[in-house]
A = this chain, B = another copy of it.
Amino acid sequence: MRTTAATVFILALLSNSAAQTAANYVKYVNPLIGTQRMGHTYPGATVPFGSVQLSPDTDQQPHNIGGKYNKDAYKYCAGYQYDDTEIVGFSHTHFSGTGHSDLGDFLIMPTVGPLQLEPGAKGDAASGFRSAFSHENEVAEAGYYKVKLDDDNILAEMTATTRVGFHQYTFPASNDSHIILDLMHGIYDYADKNVWTFARVENDHTVVGYRQTNGWARTRTVYFAMEFSKPFVSYGFKEFGRQDYKGFWRKFDQTKNFPEIAGKQIRAHFDFKTAKDEKIKIKFAVSPVSTAGAMANLRAEIPDWNFERVRNEAQSQWNKELSKVAVTTLDEGEMTNFYTALYHAMLSPTVYMDIDRSYRGLDQNTHSAAGFTNYTTFSLWDTYRALHPLLNIIEPTRNRDMIRSMQAHYDQSVHKMLPVWSHYANENWCMIGYHSVSVVADAIVTGNLTGPEAIRALESSARTARTKYYDGLEWYMSLGYVPEDRNSSSVSKTLEYAYDDWAIAQAAKKLGRQDIYDEFIKRSGNWRNLFDDSTGFMRPKDSNGRFYAEFDPLKTEGQGFIEGNAWNYSLYVPHDVPSMIEKMGGRQKFAAHLDELFTMHLPDEFFAETEDITRDGIIGGYIHGNEPAHHVAYLYNWTDAPWKTQERVRMILKHQYRPTPDGLGGNDDCGQMSAWYLFSALGFYPVAPASGQYAIGSPIVKTAVLRLENGRTLTIEARDQSEDNVYASRVTLNGRELDRRYLTYSDIASGGKLVFQMSDRHP
């Protein structure tokens, strides 16, 4: 059917009406979702992909104590836990949803009364500068956060631009008001994480400095510049760390009104007299490069003291981004789920360069991002699955800049590797695989990365995958699998390397590089080497080629896997599902296997081993709270019962995503959990990114309009959508029935209309 003028008119109307509601998408975002239990999101203020995440921290727990891991640290990965009743202060950098952590730089806390320079003990607000608060007096919006600090009756509000956090504190009348700047505070900190800190009081309202840490990022420095709206009347510092040698600085009384300090553990205070309801505002800029860069960022992004204007602009930015996918749903709760997921999907990677394009590179030199925006915080083991594929659809320009940032990382890497898990000019090597190559291949295969830079990115991918000393790759390349006796989590690594290799091959095919294609398509079959016919699971081998005798497919630990057991991980052959199914005994047996996974009971002893998720994060033995099985519900599409994909997807959407603080069943993982939701809510999912295909599922939205960068729109309708009508009995694309169980990238990018006829019956 050709698109008629009438259709175009209707589409235009739809699109227009969505645009008119755009002003209200922010109201559906609830940043508190995921702040309870395992979501590890933060509720504070930030703009899309912003460098600053200005957010309350409810406690600080060291990552380890005396060299031993402190398990209490884990829930503070994003600094905030909903169940806590106190706020320690507001810091400027936070990861969203990670399962390991860092950051929490530059804590600010307003207080009244006798100066307290210790945060105090949890549960005892009076013991330090921490303050009690209650959720009743708390407002968390996209780009804005407000809370009343009960201890001293101070109203704290905050908003942000890309590089500047904007604080507004409404004080009571007091001759003894303070604003504390804590350079010791951090997330996942421990005794010696602060390598060095430095601060200078430039004048009676301006402070600059930096914090250098050795944590998840081994060698990380963040610079700052802050300005107060009102001059302080006095100020001081205290050093809490040991410093053997003070030198001739002993000449000075450095504790009071001395404008320059450096050391490992420092807290500063700035003192004011405040009238009743007087507002003291702070602009706090960060830079990856220098204090001069931070000051330039501050001046460029917030030239005045108009808090409301900055807040409005932050929220306008959010509306603009959120309106790229305009949906209607059955109820408001789902609207909240959707737009909060979209919000979470637009928090990271984060911009990592000054207003003048300077940034710190992986080689620790200062570089200029010529022709692209430089990003950091690549949680690639998570985000290659759905977040980057989503950005490749709704934000292809930004996703390309992220790839350019990865290429810069490669260029600056002494290993000549694309990032594994990188943040703040550091490779932290977290998790496994080399999934940058999947992000690159997805962009190449879909035509979003072309020309010489595509060739370079392909070659960089190939070289990354040939780094022999990386995580078992030498054996993988010589034996065809990673042997567990040489390198643990060997099955997970083998399977993910095989997928990544296939992704490289797809990019090579697209770019006509037969040499690279041949090399990597061969490697992509390596998953076969660990399939154990006797059990029907993937199973670790030793370096002599023998399967390990001890094997329990329910166990996660010591079985060759990471963040997943054999039940979940064995299904990780997203790039060759038909062959996997064949190995597993054919379509029927495979479907029954999936049924068992979704309906079995995972005994507590095995659940206890699964990291990062709550009990709600599992369905039967299917673990949604971790990523390795994120594609699994869609595998029914390769069996004779694709309707089971639809059923399972709707079940997961319903149970794993709820519009409440505890609404996420596991870590949001820099937007990957949310991106799974977003794809699935729209009715399709990239089982194998870089295939250019998206498996059909079951949408939870009623309608959706994707406003694409190419000017086209894809309109999605789920006709007769309801709680019960979870089956898509018929799918048409531009009026023509879809005779395959997937969309192509071209189907989406061409725009048009995708209609799901929903039903409560399956075939």
Q: A residues touching B (Cβ–Cβ < 8 Å)?
A: 63-64, 67, 190-193, 195-196, 198, 200-202, 208, 210, 212, 214-216, 218-219, 242-245, 247-249, 251-253, 257-260, 262, 290-292, 363-366, 414-415, 421, 428-430, 469, 471
Interface of A is mostly: loop
A415 and B260 contact, CB distance less than 8 A = yes
A260 CA / B415 CA spacing, docked (Å):
8
- 12 additional A-B pairs beyond A200-B363, A248-B430, A251-B471, beta carbons within 8 Å, are A64-B245, A196-B196, A196-B219, A208-B363, A219-B262, A247-B428, A251-B429, A252-B429, A259-B415, A260-B414, A290-B364, A291-B365
CB nearest to A358 among chain B residues: B366
Closest residue to A203 on the B side, CB-wise? Answer: B414
Query: Quick check: B200 and A248 within 8 Å, CB to CB?
Result: no
Q: Residues of B contacting A429 with CB < 8 Å?
A: 247-249, 251-252
The reply to whether B212 and A196 form a contact with Cβ atoms under 8 Å apart is yes
Q: A190-B245, A366-B290 are contacts. A469–B215 as well, Cβ < 8 Å?
A: no
A214 and B200 contact, CB distance less than 8 A: no
Question: Which residue on B lies nearest to A472, using beta carbons?
Answer: B251
A365 touching B292 by the CB < 8 A rule?
A: yes
Which residues on the B side are within 8 Å of A366 (C-beta)? Answer: 290, 366
Contact assessment for A193 and B245 in the assembled complex, using a CB-CB cutoff below 8 Å: yes
CA distance in complex: A208, B414 (Å): 10
> Are A364 and B202 in contact, CB atoms less than 8 angstroms apart?
no
**How many copies altogether?**
2
Interface-central residue, A195, A201, A257, A421, by most chain B CB under 10 Å: A195
Q: Closest Cβ of chain B: how far from A76's Cβ, in Å?
A: 16
A201 to B242, CA, bound (A): 33
Determine if B262 and A243 form an interchain contact, defined as CB atoms under 8 angstroms apart: no
- CB-CB under 8 A from A242, the residues of chain B are 192
A196 CB to closest chain B CB, in angstroms? Answer: 5
Interface centre among A212, A247, A415 (most CB of B within 10 A): A247
A-B pairs, top 6 by smallest CB distance, nearest first, are A248-B429, A292-B365, A200-B414, A259-B414, A290-B365, A219-B262
What's the Cα separation between A363 and B293 when bound, in Å? 12
Are the CB atoms of A195 and B196 closer together than 8 Å?
Answer: yes
Q: Which of A196, A208, A471 has the most CB of B within 10 A?
A: A196
Q: Chain B CB within 10 Å — which of A201, A219, A259, A415 has the most?
A: A219
B residues in contact with A201, CB < 8 Å: 414
Query: A257 — which chain B residues lie within 8 A by C-beta?
Result: 469
